[in-house]
Amino acid sequence: MIMPITSTMAVGNPIYNLEQPFKMIKYKHLFGPVMSRRLGISLGIDLVPYKYCPLNCVYCEVQRTTHQVTKREAFFETREILAELDSFMSTNPHLDYITFSGAGEPTLNSLLGQIVNYIKAKYPSYKLALLTNGILFSDPEVRKEVLPCDIVLPSLDSATQEGFEKINRPCPELKVEELIEGLIHFRQEYKGIIWLEVFLVSGINTIPQEISALAKAINKIKPDLVQLNCLDRPGAEDWVKPIPLHTLKQVKEQLSQQVCVPVEIIAKVKYQPAESQLDGELIELLHNTLKRRPSTAEDLSAMLDIHINEISKVLSQLYQEKKITAQRESRGVFYKWIS
């Protein structure tokens, strides 16, 4: 049973108490709850430092990978992460999911299994989700660690090595066949829900031969659902552009004809004031900052002490609403408030 909503909610790293003026508790590893496109009201748990990932995807909205690795590490003290979670959960928040995500790849944390088991044992009424690129699912131990999750959302943007390298820019030793095999094995072992994300990049994985290769892989993986995604705001590379709706629909139709599972286009979610009362606070902070000087998402995260994922979601919304501009420079994408 989902716990009832309370007057205390989190935005980014802080938790704000709505009954007292701007009182907050800082968190290093938690962010949100955020309104997720796919998961509803989601509390994020960030298990790795900023931009540790086996991939360097051209579309990544938190920009280029700075530490491209496949080796797992503990990174942080498990008790530090769990103490933050216990503190937040003491408010009995209304959540659709507790989600492992962040600005890096969660499965790189070698203590992931311990954290999963702790959450499922202590908070059994809450659903647990994992957002992952699936690269480490070639490791049986990683697959075993995440079996208690209620839903896993891996990615597969291309089923050809050429497309994989163009879109995901993996560590040199990584092969797309191993990624696909890992996902197949995971499906065979896992009893929960799998939603497979395909991030579309125009001219690469939107062409017929790529779609056919994806379809063959999807039919072997057997996810419960395939979700087609595309760019909201500037990604890691300037040449990656948003895809028109008619192209998304064409890809969906072509893929649907070749796979045995449902395919959907992920609908964009607007921020709902009634559900996220504190977005106004964050937008005001961004307005006051960006009207004075252009800043990157990473700059804003550091200045405001708010998790970069929360910053990124609100920047995406403001960019769609044409309230801010985006200009790529050598240090990254700089956002500026339109006067």
Which segments of 14-77 does DSSP mark as H helices, in order? none
Walking along the chain (339 residues) 10 residues at a time, the average pLDDT comes out as: 33 36 60 82 91 92 85 93 95 94 92 97 97 98 98 98 97 97 98 97 95 98 96 77 89 96 76 46 80 82 75 82 82 83
pLDDT given at position 279 = 64
DSSP-assigned beta bridge partners for residue 22: none
pLDDT of 26 reads: 66
Q: What are phi and psi of 256, to 5 degrees?
A: -60, -30
What local confidence, expressed as pLDDT, does residue 132 receive?
98
For residue 209, with 0-12 CB atoms within 10 Å meaning exposed, 13-18 middle and 19 or more buried, which class applies?
exposed
Q: In angstroms, rounded to a whole number, what is the distance separating the alpha carbons of residues 177 and 171?
A: 14
Following DSSP, what letter does each residue of 96-138 receive, concatenated? SEEEEESSS-GGGBTTHHHHHHHHHHH-TTS-EEEE---GGGG
Identity of the residue numbered 147: L
Q: What pLDDT score was predicted for residue 311?
A: 83
- Kindly state the tokens that stand for 299: 């700059």
Q: Is residue 271 within 8 Å of residue 314, measured between CB atoms? A: yes
Describe the chain by its helix, strand, coil percentages, rounded to 5.
35, 20, 45
Q: How many Å apart are CA 155 and CA 219, to the nearest integer?
A: 15
- If one counts every other C-beta atom within 10 angstroms of the C-beta of residue 46, the result is 25
Residue 5 is predicted with a pLDDT of 28
pTM for the model: 0.77
Q: Name the β-bridge partners of 45.
A: 30, 100
Q: Is 128 left (phi over 0), alpha (psi -120 to 50) or beta?
A: beta
Residues with Cβ within 8 Å of 293's Cβ and at least 6 positions away in sequence, in order, are none
Residue 178 neighbours by CB distance under 10 Å: 13
Beta bridge partners of 16: 9, 24
What residue segments make up the domains of the chain, in order of their start?
8-278
CA distance 312 to 257: 35
* pLDDT for position 280: 72
Residue 288 token pair: 């006051």
Q: Sort strands 151-153 and 193-199 into parallel, antiparallel or unpaired.
A: parallel
> Domain 8-278 sits in which CATH superfamily?
Aldolase class I (3.20.20.70)
| Contact partners, residue 285, CB within 8 Å, separation at least 6 | 304, 306
**Residue 55 phi, psi dihedral angles, 5° rounding:** -115, 160
137: burial class by Cβ within 10 Å (0-12, 13-18, 19+)? buried
